[in-house]
Structure 1
């Protein structure tokens, strides 16, 4: 009961702070919120059980590696923001740079389709997890129904009215994550005092451990959204806010995985997409309900954002030969097909591969820009290596078994 009270106070406190006009109207904070919310959205729900069951006591090191790779690709995106999006598009850096930029935009548009499927499958699973309808079939039916709603809204009205809910859902999610971390800190401290901390064995080793890590890239994706906020913020603000969002998300993820890695025995963990709910029920009875609320709010808002982004990209890249409503319909058809043909972890792997292609192409673009600018050859070589890593992740990434 006391854990529940502490968690509730921390959650409400952060929610109040985030809703204060001084915070909510801050240009820097609003620029940070979009990439931060994307990075620590869905991954936060999956990574705890997945990393612990796969890597045991070494889970924090794997988390650090994932965040490190994400930060390197963040450096790629920041380089391309600094180079100037308009300069890239108008051919200032040559025709090859322009073509790679166009190709990467197509890759991002398709990556968005898979990421929406990922978000809505999580929404379907979490929304029913505490009800009598907690089954794979019911979750897929729920996901398909939400896809139908999104397609109908996008086709008939567009998403502008729904996008206004983004800041509210982001604030709710960040507040609940704070409450979760406070609860885990209290639980970890109690286990440490009672000398009950556990170092679980590693179940995935060797090459399989590397390829499974590749398949989890989507869980730390989202920082690239800063690049596409040019209508709201200047380049300097977007670069600074993306860097800050990645630092904050890395800190949050590492604290979370560190606190969760040494307090649960293998028998207390589940490999299902909603396994985190049962684990948090051990910490405090209030946490499962909070996690479900956070999942429903954040997954829906993330799905709306990526659906809107995908539709806009398809329309722009096809020069309106594909209209936004047509793109939404295609997204719904592909998403429902994926929902019924693959499990959530296979979809996570597909999404990771799709974003790896995008990041790899952006790294290739950064290399071209560096050469055209006459920068240090080492910088261009660094970007080429990241492009190769993106290709390796796209080819070799494997789903969680």
Structure 2
């Protein structure tokens, strides 16, 4: 009971702190909210169980590699933000256009990913918990997004972004407190679990490639140019990545040694069952965080995809007419693939986009820096081709 109250109080304190006017008034903080929302919103809940089951005691190392790869691709995007004022060559302009199209394609898959998680968590604590009912909820949510976009209702939904980020960080704070207390008790009893993991080096690397979407989202800072100057966006991305990395690493270190890995029980909502053991209040809090975070992220990415397609077609395709087509693709993915396959598809799509960003950075740099970005582009290409899904139960 005391732990439940402590978790709730900490969450409320963080939530209240997020709405302090002095914090919200800071331009860099406001600019940081968008990439931060995308990074920790897309994979936080599903990533922990995947790494714990597939990597065992090596889960923190796998998380560190994911964050490092995300940081390197973020460096390429930051380089391209800094180069925005330079005159573009025809080649750079063409690659940028292709990159925007690749990002819009990645967003289509990520919307399906977000709302499949939304559907799964929506029914996770109900008597109707099944893949079929989760898919029905996902389809309805996709329909709502399509109608909102076509009817011009996105602006009202997008205003939810700051509130959902605040709620998400508050609940994550409570989750980390609960995990820290449970970790301490388990360690004191000598019951921490050190499992060697299930995968060999090659499959481990390919699975990491297939999980890059879980640390994706930092690139959104590049497309905030109408609201913030380049230095602000660069700082916002850098700080969003550093904060999300700290959150992810603490989370995985606390989670990786508490439970016996069981591939037969790995699902998109495995974190719910894990947290029942930690503190009874956490499952309901995590469901609330998942519903708010995944829906707002889906709205943001649908809007982003529509806008990018309109820009790519030079206005010939109106964004609101693109939304039903994009959502139709999401519905097709929902009923034809499981969430782990969708995560892998989304990761490979974003890896393709990051490859193009690394190529752009290489073309706009010189010397050793250019060579490093070319090497990063090769890594992105390998991730695009070789990424594999986690394969749940």
TM-score for both structures, normalised by structure 1:
0.96
- Per-residue CA shift, 1:291-314, capped at 9, x if unaligned? 000000000100000011111111
- Per-residue CA shift, 1:335-367, capped at 9, x if unaligned? 000000000000000000000010000100111
Tell me by how many angstroms 1:326 deviates.
Answer: 1.9
2:73 — aligned with what? 73
2:335 — aligned with what? 340
How many matched pairs?
Answer: 391
User: 1:366 and 2:356 equivalent?
Assistant: no
Q: CA RMSD in A?
A: 1.2
Conserved in 2, the CA contact under 8 Å of 1:49 and 1:271? yes
Conserved in 2, the CA contact under 8 Å of 1:269 and 1:279? no
1:56 — aligned with what? 56
User: 1:388 and 2:378 equivalent?
Assistant: yes
Q: What are structure 1's unaligned runs of at least 5 residues?
A: none
Conserved in 2, the CA contact under 8 Å of 1:70 and 1:221? yes
Tell me by how many angstroms 1:14 deviates.
Answer: 0.3
2:120 — aligned with what? 125
1:400 — aligned with what? 390
Give the Cα–Cα distance (whole angstroms) in 2 for the partners of residues 267 and 400 of structure 1: 13
2:215 counterpart (197, 206, 220): 220
Give the Cα–Cα distance (whole angstroms) in 2 for the partners of residues 182 and 270 of structure 1: 25
Conserved in 2, the CA contact under 8 Å of 1:269 and 1:278? no
What stretches of structure 1 move > 4 A for 4+ residues in a row? none
Tell me by how many angstroms 1:194 deviates.
Answer: 1.3
Worse overlay, 24-33 or 42-51: 24-33
Residue 364 of structure 2 aligns to a residue whose secondary structure is helix
User: 1:314 and 2:314 equivalent?
Assistant: no
The aligned runs of 1:195-214 (5 Å cut-off) are: 195-214=190-209
Residue 88 of structure 2 aligns to a residue whose secondary structure is coil
Tell me by how many angstroms 1:216 deviates.
Answer: 0.2
User: 1:9 and 2:6 equivalent?
Assistant: no
Tell me by how many angstroms 1:267 deviates.
Answer: 5.0
The aligned runs of 1:108-123 (5 Å cut-off) are: 108-123=103-118
Worse overlay, 253-262 or 312-321: 312-321
Conserved in 1, the CA contact under 8 Å of 2:53 and 2:262? no
Residue 265 of structure 1 aligns to a residue whose secondary structure is coil
Give the Cα–Cα distance (whole angstroms) in 2 for the partners of residues 382 and 260 of structure 1: 34
Residue 345 of structure 1 aligns to a residue whose secondary structure is helix
Residue 186 of structure 1 aligns to a residue whose secondary structure is helix
2:349 — aligned with what? 354
Residue 314 of structure 2 aligns to a residue whose secondary structure is coil
Tell me by how many angstroms 1:206 deviates.
Answer: 2.5
Conserved in 1, the CA contact under 8 Å of 2:53 and 2:263? no
Give the Cα–Cα distance (whole angstroms) in 2 for the partners of residues 181 and 142 of structure 1: 29
2:247 — aligned with what? 252
Residue 211 of structure 1 aligns to a residue whose secondary structure is helix
TM-score for both structures, normalised by structure 2:
0.98
Residue 41 of structure 1 aligns to a residue whose secondary structure is helix
2:94 — aligned with what? 99
Tell me by how many angstroms 1:268 deviates.
Answer: 10
Tell me by how many angstroms 1:153 deviates.
Answer: 1.2
Give the Cα–Cα distance (whole angstroms) in 1 for the partners of residues 263 and 19 of structure 2: 36
